[in-house]
Amino acid sequence: MARKKSIYYQFSNQADNVIEDGKPLYTTIKGRWNEMYFKNNNPIVLELACGKGEYTVGLARLFPNKNFIGVDIKGDRIARGSMEAINANLTNVAFLRAGIRFLDEFFAENEVDEIWLVHPDPKVRQREENQRLTNQNFLSYYATYLKDNGIFHLKTDSPFLYDYTLSSIQEAEHYQIQQYTNDLYKSELYADHFGITTHYEKIFVQKGYTINYIKAQIKKQTP
């Protein structure tokens, strides 16, 4: 396993579609993703804690006129998404190897059009609340980078995180809940997900878990 991980890390280090420490764009890309990497003015969509990048690559296949960036701290994980994007000749995909707490080093205010969180660790213990990726601090963080009318999505198998996030968004500044369901697969909203699933989502569904979904919009300008 260690050798396999090493191979993925080496691939990540050499891949042009992976931005990580030691590469030139790592320290210069902030606020300039369209200019310096994608070379266009298309909307930018982030998948945070993207793992192997299944959503990043899946959406990029469907929406060639949008730019997709998967963000994760694990180089061996994003290397798999990087490989898939390269093999599919997807030029609208990039991966950033960085922690979510350091987004301010890579994105400027109002640079992002959409953010996806897909099956993040729910961190159910009370002492872990400051690590939950939908707590008030993180939601405020995301709102900084999202444009006015930008979209935030959460997909989770965790009823706890679903309920917690609904409550957090209702209390958060700038967020307006647009749609939500505690059983995505039986909802009319399912069609908007285009059948894109992660490895773990397939396992969750096979075990009988329902998939929860929340969509919220950012409203920064007062009427």
**What CA–CA distance (Å, rounded) separates 42 from 140?**
24
**What CA–CA distance (Å, rounded) separates 31 from 219?**
21
Please choose, from the candidates 186, 190, 196, the residue with its C-alpha nearest in 3D space to the C-alpha of residue 215.
190
Q: Tokens for 186?
A: 């039986």
Among residues 21, 104, 121, 163, the one annotated as catalytic is 121
Q: Is there a contact between 185 and 210 (Cβ–Cβ < 8 Å)?
A: yes
> What's the helix, strand, coil split of the chain in %, to 5?
45, 20, 35
What crossing angle do the helices spanning 54-62 and 75-87 adopt, rounded to 10°? 20
> What are the beta bridge partners of residue 152?
115, 216
Residue 16 falls in the annotated catalytic set: no
Cβ neighbourhood burial of 24 (10 Å; 0-12, 13-18, 19+): exposed
In terms of DSSP H, where are the helices of 71-124? 75-87
Q: What is the CA radius of gyration of the chain?
A: 17
Residues assigned a catalytic role: 121
